[in-house]
Structure 1
Amino acid sequence: MLDDFEKRILRLLQQNGRTSTQDLSDAIGLSPSPCWRRVKRLEEDGYITHYAAILSSKKLGLAALAHVHISLTDHSEDTVNTFLGFVERSEQIIDCASITGDFDFVIKVAATDPESLEHFIMKGILRLGVVRNTSTNFILRQIKTNAALPIAP
């Protein structure tokens, strides 16, 4: 169970993962040593899984973002492992979730342009031999991009 200090630490680190222990401790009202110990415990207990920078897709020339819904040919262990291995190896796939409904997975793909996205789908995903069909939705404009999770009060 998280206490109020730990919840505040998590909120602050989600806003800025580079926040120093001193700045964290000042913001939540703890001295640096107990604050550092709490952060370490949150990491060890798996609340904090890793730290990352959020990059601008536009600055990187990734103008084509899309959600691709995927149905597999079957749900055998080999089929699922083939698909998940591809997901793990592909830098263009920036998010993947197993879903309910007509499709098995939805992935978020980043590409330089529509043609390179098509190439990725045709020469990458469909050539796996385990995908029955796909449905692609281009992202016209990112309204909100936030990796922060809500933390109950």
Structure 2
Amino acid sequence: MISADTFDLKILAALQDDGRLTNQQLADVAGLSASQCSRRRMRLEQEKVISGYHADLAGEALGFNVIAFIHITLATHSPDNARHFRNLVQRVEEVQEAYSLTGDADYLLKVVLRDLKSLSDIVNNVLMPHRSVAHVRSSIVLDRLKETAKLPLKELRQRA
């Protein structure tokens, strides 16, 4: 964990809102000169606090109308079997997020798909037949109440 002061947190909060801010716009928000802001931004990038920049695409506008969460239980709990499953997950483009869990399921996958047939294909033709998988249970998202990738920087500001 790096130490971040108030200026760093202002820079990070502004970039979370709009990653396309120019250095001058970012400096204005942070209350720094452009050169000071540029140095801080570069340090945050080098320290991997800022891990990248990307465009947020609207999935529904592109025809991705189904989001599902898939709980996976492995057939056996061995390092080899876990590696085989992790390799599978890396190859499936529809998997947006994958987590190793405690509790009833071993893994939770978030998938984005065009339709229910695509979900059926992933479950029945990709996941269930895989030798590492014992059980698959899926839940289809009916409505998204909140979506964000923003970190709660407010908590860090209180400590800075």
Query: Considering the TM-score relative to the shorter chain, is it more than 0.5?
Result: yes
Aligned to 2:152: 150
1:69 matched to 2:67: no
Aligned residue pairs, count:
153
User: Cα offset for 1:144?
Assistant: 1.0
Could you give the per-residue CA deviations for residues 48-93 of structure 1, whole angstroms, max 9, x where no partner exists?
Answer: 1111211111111011110101111122222111111122222100
Work out which of the residue numbers 46, 49, 55 in structure 2 matches 1:47.
Answer: 49
Q: What is the TM-score when the length of structure 1 is the normalising length?
A: 0.96
Candidates 90, 93, 99, aligned match of 1:91: 93
Match of 1:15 in 2: 17
Output the amino acid matched with 1:116. S
Q: Which residue of 1 aligns with 2:142?
A: 140
- Percent identity (aligned): 35
Structure 1: which 5+ runs fail to align? none
The one-letter amino acid paired with 2:94 is Q
**Aligned-pair Cα RMSD in Å:** 1.0
Deviant stretches of 4+, over 3 Å: none
Match of 2:81 among 79, 86, 101: 79
Aligned-residue offset at 1:123: 0.9
Q: Distance in 1 between matches of 2:75 and 2:106?
A: 10
Q: For the residues of structure 2 that align with 1:96 and 1:114, how far apart are their CA atoms?
A: 20
**Aligned counterparts of 2:147 and 2:13: Cα–Cα separation in 1:** 16
Deviation for aligned residue 1:127: 2.2
**Structure 1 residues 85-94 or 2-11, which shifts more?**
85-94
1:29 Cα deviation from its structure 2 partner: 0.6
Q: Quick one: distance in 1 between partners of 2:88 and 2:150?
A: 26
**What TM-score comes out, normalization by structure 2 length?**
0.92
Instruction: Name the structure 2 match of 1:122.
Output: 124
Could you tell me how far 1:19 is from its partner in structure 2?
Answer: 1.0
**Which residue of the other structure, out of 106, 109, 115, is the alignment partner of 2:108?**
106
- Report the Cα distance in structure 1 between the residues aligned to 2:81 and 2:21, rounded to whole angstroms: 42
Name the amino acid aligned to 1:131.
V
1:28 to 30, 37, 42: 30
Aligned to 2:39: 37
